[in-house]
Chains A and B, each alone.
Chain A
Amino acid sequence: MSEKEKNIDNVRQENEKPVLLRMENIEKAFPGVKALDKVNLTVKAGTVHALMGENGAGKSTLMKCLFGVYSKDGGKIYLEGKEINFKNSKEALENGVAMVHQELNQALKRNVMDNMWLGRFPKVAKGVPITSEKKMYKATKEVFDKLEINVDPKTVMSRMPVSQRQMVEIAKAVSYNSKVIVFDEPTSSLTEEEVEHLFRIINMLRDQGCGIIYISHKMAEILRISDEVTIMRDGKWIATKDAKGLTTDEIIKLMVGRELTNLYPPKTNEIGDVLLDVKDLSAMYSKLSDVSFSARKGEILGVAGLDGSGRTELLENIFGVATRKSGKLTLDGKPIRNRNSRDSIKNGFALLTEERRATGIFSILNIRENATISSLGKCRSGPLLSKKKLKKSTDWCIDSMRIKTPSQETKIRSLSGGNQQKVILGRWLLTEPTVLLLDEPTRGIDVGAKYEIYELIIDLAAKGKTVIMVSSEMPELLGVCDRILVMSGGRLAGEVNAADTTQEEIMALAAKYA
């Protein structure tokens, strides 16, 4: 406690700029999880305030409380000294609080200026319900000129690269004359040059007196652009510090809050002979090209790389849910084709997808239905399904995955993310796979459940199964995997041994073809 107070004092002494936004003791609970526990955040005018923390630390929940996407359970928010309580992001926008989202929600079939002025189209004249394309074009052009964005306002969104769409989103936030702008992982899809452009814009906004909240995982960026840093962990406020004099190590220590070794269970798997061999795998509709590697029995093979580097595409192509252009798969010395998901399942493959909600769970079906969908063939007696066998399979899932649920008939959507993930893992284990393809198996899961998933993964490998695991969290790959493949720009950039590599080495490989 005393340390925290000191931190605040430090900040107060050094900075006398006026406070723009103050969030005090914000609380938010979801069933089974305390997402925010008395979190504080103070943003001053004319500064860039970095918000840091691991996945699941509560950064985006905090922002969602600010924008009224979630209603907070406790705490107060002040904007320029006045207490506010936005009901939705529209209200926030109208009061000068804007956000540039990581996942772009844009009307892709409409053009740039339609997106910019959506919900507030300029009228031809006051009281006349006809929108003026001319005014819209002019206003858009003005904002773009100011921000040095070189895009025709009449371009259709879907024809532009993601980085330009991101710029449009930023321009939109600026066009509201916002006082506070939140950037959520803005650089994840930008090239180095574009990042420089973004920083120029941010610096310009700061000089105009805006308060910027900058959410990012990238240490170097944070240290370069921000004035202050607030660090969160497990839904709690940990520290707010002046960026000057802060080091990467210090930030990581605050973010992780404990020794890395405790985060991962001990490894008990033994690596055997080569099981799966992938040769010159190229995708038809994505940039994945010429990937070759092999995986052994009992091995946990990590796949690292930036977003869009082809990690997910690699798994999808192996599993046959994306169209292959070329490549050979060999399992246990025999060539296999994995033409579609059914074929792959028959060959002993399983794919845990990245987007649990979109492609994993059947949210309105119950746990039994979710668990047994891939192994219904085994639960038959005669031509009909046997409820007894279905129940038995599901019981096995619940027991061995340690799923916390009131009953088999509980709808899966009422479980926590971690338990949902365990149900899907269980679904795949019921198919008795030999090769498990796991895409971000711990995304959006709280720390405790992560540990359990790691245990399950290591346990599976110990039983002689091959696990290929994609993750964006470098420490996780280093802590769980035996070997790590690094993808870059759709190609395999390199292969490292988890025991004797560093994050820096992996990052360097990941940037190889980017």
Chain B
Amino acid sequence: MSAAIKRKGRLSARLEEFKAKSGADKRRAIVDLLFNNAMYIIIVIAIIYIAIQVPAFLSTSSIVNIISLTAAKLPIALGIGGAIVLTGTDISAGRCVGLTACISAALLQMTNYANKIFPELEVMPLWIVLLIVIAVGAAVGLVNGFFVAKFKLHPFIVTLSTQLIVYGLILMFLMIGSNNGQTLSGLDESYTNFVKGTLFRIDGVAVPKYVLYAIILTALMWLVWNKTKFGKNMFAVGSNEEAANVSGVNVFWTIVIVFVIAGAMYGITGFIEGARIASCSANTGLNYESDAIAACVIGGVSFVGGTGKISGIVIGVFLLQIIFVGLNFLSVDQNLLYVIKGMIILVACAIDMRKYLARK
């Protein structure tokens, strides 16, 4: 109640302030307001336009689909976001998802499935597999973080290398036993149910369980970014590494942990993705990082370093999925999709950078 009053008070105060301004200042204030909220405006305009063209876009099942897609792509973006806050990047993300998806699938194939990669293996308990893939992802993250923090290598170089290493591991992994590089499929029902099973139904439309997991991970990451010492340290290191060091921030561990958390997120994404697409091959996860990085920068996690919000990442992923689904609903020419996606990323980032440009 009191919070509401406060908010209302703040709003009216802003309105007063606005009224007091001169004509030119008013115009500038409006332009700034529009630009600062450009992402939301673009999303709203896009939704309205698509909904007018194809009303089914706003049907329950369509909305659930967009949310599910967003949920599936969110964890990897949450992981990469941290690396971008440190002015870095992580291009090993996609391959990491691929490896962990293959491991999850391999350990959780049906007992009686004909083409099991490990024929002797019983179906393992889910939580053990989840822990294994988180550990595998975190281990890759540890390598990334260690080389970035210890040798001051640019994350692009480090993750470019680990990305190759991980791909090699995937290929080797798929060659185990008599698998011969075949797609891993025939997953145990406990696994697919845990990921794809129905959380609840809206209007008879099933919402998959991984939506819940994405929400939990988002909340967790929000806490880490905003409410922990580590989170504050991460932003400080991203903003000014030298100053952070002098201020008593353990720069080395901050960098390492950012990448380890990112790796753990890829592990979880792999676990979810394995069941979601139900057939994992060496190509699984390829280029996932490019969408995730795009989502982050669209959402205002800037390569300038030291800035970014979890809500921004969610918005970024959401916008990309709206584009994907919306353009499908609009039956836009497939070739044009690339062009539109590229332009949206470019415009979004340009608008975002506008905030940081020093004006003389």
Contact = CB atoms under 8 A, between A and B. Distances in A.
A345 interface: yes
Contacts of A365: 235-236, 239, 306
Interface of B is mostly: helix
Contacts of B242: 358-359
B232 A376 contact: yes
Given A321-B246, A374-B247, A361 B240 contact: yes
A377 interface: yes
A341 B239 contact: no
B198 interface: no
B149 to A, nearest CB: 14
Contacts of A345: 248
A4 to B, nearest CB: 31
Contacts of A373: 232-233, 236, 244, 247-249
Interface residues of B, number: 27
B227 A385 contact: yes
B228 interface: yes
A384 B240 contact: no
Nearest to A69: B360
A364 B245 contact: no
Given A70-B360, A373-B236, A384-B227, A364 B306 contact: yes
B24 to A, nearest CB: 18
Nearest to A341: B248
Nearest to B237: A362
Contacts of B243: 353, 358-362
A372 interface: yes
B94 to A, nearest CB: 29
Contacts of B235: 362, 365, 369
Contacts of A361: 240, 243
A369 B247 contact: no
B229 to A, nearest CB: 4
Nearest to B304: A364
B245 A341 contact: yes
A376 B230 CA distance: 9
A431 B307 CA distance: 25
Given A345-B248, A359-B246, A427-B247, A385 B306 contact: no
Contacts of B231: 385
A16 B229 CA distance: 68
A444 to B, nearest CB: 16
B356 interface: yes
A187 to B, nearest CB: 29
Given A373-B233, A384-B223, A362 B306 contact: yes
Contacts of A342: 248, 250
Interface string A371-410: 0111011001001110000000000000000000000000
Nearest to B229: A376
Contact of B245 (A321, A377, A384): A321
A385 B225 CA distance: 11
B229 A380 contact: yes
Contacts of B360: 70-71
A374 B307 contact: no
A198 B219 CA distance: 64
A363 B240 contact: yes
Contacts of A377: 229
Contacts of A360: 243, 246
Contacts of A353: 243, 246
Given A321-B246, A374-B248, A362 B232 contact: no
Interface string A335-353: 0000001101100000101
13 contacts: A341-B246, A342-B250, A353-B243, A359-B242, A361-B240, A362-B235, A362-B239, A363-B239, A363-B240, A364-B305, A373-B249, A376-B229, A376-B233
Interface of A: 70-71, 319, 321, 341-342, 344-345, 351, 353, 358-365, 369, 372-374, 376-377, 380, 383-385, 427, 431
Top 7 closest pairs, chain A to chain B, by CB: A362-B239, A384-B227, A359-B242, A376-B229, A345-B248, A374-B247, A341-B248
Given A351-B246, A362-B244, 12 more contacts: A341-B245, A342-B250, A344-B248, A362-B235, A362-B306, A364-B305, A364-B306, A364-B307, A365-B239, A383-B228, A384-B223, A385-B228
